[in-house]
Amino acid sequence: MTAAPASEQASTRVEARHPVRVDIDGDFALDDLLALPEVGPARRLHAVPATLAALRRLHAADDAESTAGAPRELGGTPSAPTEADAILLHRIEASSLFRPPVREQVANLSPEVGAAWLALAARWVDLSRSNADLRFLNTACKLTGAVWLHHKRAGGPWHEPGLTGQVAAVARLLDKATDRLRRRLANRIVLAESAGISEEALWPGRRGTADQARITVLASAGSRSAGRLVTAATTAGLPIQAVCWYTPLHTGPPESSNYSSAWYPPAAPGPTTSPEVPSGVPTTTARSWDDVAAAIRAAEADVVLLVGMPVVPDHVLGAARLGVLNAHNGALPSCRGMDAVGWALLNNQPVVCSLHLARPVVDAGEVIAAHPVPIAPVDTLAARVKATQLQLLLAGAAHVTDTGALPDLTPQPAAGTQFYRLHPHLKRLLDASPYAYNDGPRRTVIQP
């Protein structure tokens, strides 16, 4: 039997990893959009007022946050993003409009506002080409997917020729943008590096007995990395006083959503279990941020280490004497926010992990240390990124244990770049790129 061509194998693997879920993710199959006829004059609506109005109507509770300070006019040319573009991009991404299940978030979207979203999507696809900021392409996919969700499920005005023609026109812009990005990704160079990973490599070296700090670990319930961190810390003699498992009442997006986890290359087979927290370390469970703050104060923590946590509010950050340390999987301040590894690869940037002091603003706290992670071999990238994050946290804890103080802190500039969750369409492009498989299609590997 003849093996299928590499391109067909890649296509099969991509579909298996990120299937199109229209209602859950506001996703689309680009071929379905391209099959629409470009009939009738496409609607030409000014996008900003209608988009802001949609935010107000769909999420009245978030009105002040989603619209405050946003200019009412985009202006400018497609080659130059304006202040309004940047503000509106953040307002849309920071709202709950595209949190799964998307069909519930945009249930009240009208065809008129949908047409305005398409106009905005068209502008942002152009901006992503002219200024190389793929965040605009990412959000354009989300806007288009929300309109496609209604077009696919509803009838009547959602199938009016002008609106259908506008969906088709945006689809053709997305098709060109997709092809450009696919070609760029296919021609990336990925250097080959060692894949060695060991638990012993996490250990910061055994400490003396004169501990000058009390350390608490705060981790999302079920985190597989927390056990590794605490085991390595106690083995090295670091004074872990307690582990607090955070189990919020809100459990996040459904497991069937492609937004449930960040993008990484398919992982090589590894251990199915992680070390448990050693039995001698006290543990507690918190269901609210007030419970978390109380647990930190009860442990008399000097410093808190975060593992797999969302943004922590200010009153929790203030519960530890010295502060809270977080290890981010992106370079700071150039790659703040979500899906940092995926965004770094899309933008042809190195993967860098950063240790920083946690602040209420996402990934904006003072930087303590940073360490690059080689991209190849890609099937161990996720494991090596996680190991590097744990090493950074342990190094920070060891410094506090030895000195009783935080390491040197380097403030970040206010004007960092924040990224948002990757739309499944861009995840599928990464899945078909040389970043996804050691034996991937059109892969270029240079041996050192």
Least confident of 39-43, 84-88, 157-161, 367-371: 39-43
d(CA 399, CA 359): 20
d(CA 337, CA 344): 11
| Alpha helices (H) along 131-223 | 134-153, 161-186
Q: What is the mean pLDDT of residues 38-42?
A: 65
Residue 105 has pLDDT above 60, yes or no: yes
Question: pLDDT tens digit string along 140-199?
Answer: 999 999 999 999 988 789 999 889 999 999 999 999 999 999 988 887 766 555 445 556
Residue 34 has pLDDT above 80, yes or no: yes
Comparison of pLDDT for 72 and 28, the residue scoring more = 28
Is the CB of residue 115 less than 8 Å from the CB of residue 43? Answer: yes
Tokens of 357: 């002091």
Chain centroid, CA 259 distance in Å = 9
Least confident of 56-70, 85-99, 227-241, 348-362: 56-70
Q: What is the mean pLDDT of residues 22-48?
A: 81
d(CA 169, CA 39): 10
**Of residues 305, 317, 337, the one with CA closest to residue 219:** 305
Res 50: pLDDT? 60
Q: What is the mean pLDDT of residues 100-121?
A: 92
Report the percent of the chain where pLDDT is more than 70: 78
**Of residues 264, 195, 186, the one with CA closest to residue 434:** 186
Q: What is the mean pLDDT of residues 381-394?
A: 93
d(CA 134, CA 95): 19
Residue type (1 letter), 178: T
Name the band, by pLDDT with cuts 50, 70 and 90, for residue 70.
very low
Angle at 54 between CA 52 and CA 59, to 5 degrees: 100
Res 439: pLDDT? 63
Name the band, by pLDDT with cuts 50, 70 and 90, for residue 270.
confident
Kindly report whether the peptide bond that precedes residue 377 is cis, defined as omega within 30 degrees of 0.
yes
| Rounded (10°) CA dihedral 383, 388, 394, 396 | -150
Least confident of 66-75, 182-191, 341-350: 66-75
Least confident of 99-113, 196-210, 265-279: 196-210
d(CA 55, CA 49): 10
Res 254: pLDDT? 67
Question: pLDDT tens digit string along 85-103?
Answer: 888 899 999 998 999 999 9
Res 203: pLDDT? 60
Res 351: pLDDT? 96
Could you tell me the sign of the dihedral formed by the alpha carbons of 407, 307, 272, 235, in that order?
A: positive
Name the band, by pLDDT with cuts 50, 70 and 90, for residue 129.
confident
Q: If you average pLDDT over every residue of the chain, what do you get?
A: 83
Quote the CATH superfamily of domain 200-416. Formyl transferase, N-terminal domain (3.40.50.170)
Comparison of pLDDT for 254 and 267, the residue scoring more = 267
Name the band, by pLDDT with cuts 50, 70 and 90, for residue 68.
very low
Name the band, by pLDDT with cuts 50, 70 and 90, for residue 72.
very low
Question: pLDDT tens digit string along 1-32?
Answer: 344 444 444 445 556 789 999 999 999 999 99
As beta bridge partners, residue 191 has 446
Residue 126 has pLDDT above 60, yes or no: yes
Q: What is the mean pLDDT of residues 207-214?
A: 67
**Of residues 271, 265, 219, the one with CA closest to residue 382:** 265
Chain centroid, CA 430 distance in Å = 14
Which part of the chain is CATH 3.40.50.170?
200-416
Res 80: pLDDT? 72
Angle formed by the axes of helices 83-94 and 47-58, to 10°?
A: 20
**Which burial class, exposed, middle or buried, applies to 119 when counting CB atoms under 10 A from its CB (0-12, 13-18, 19+)?**
buried
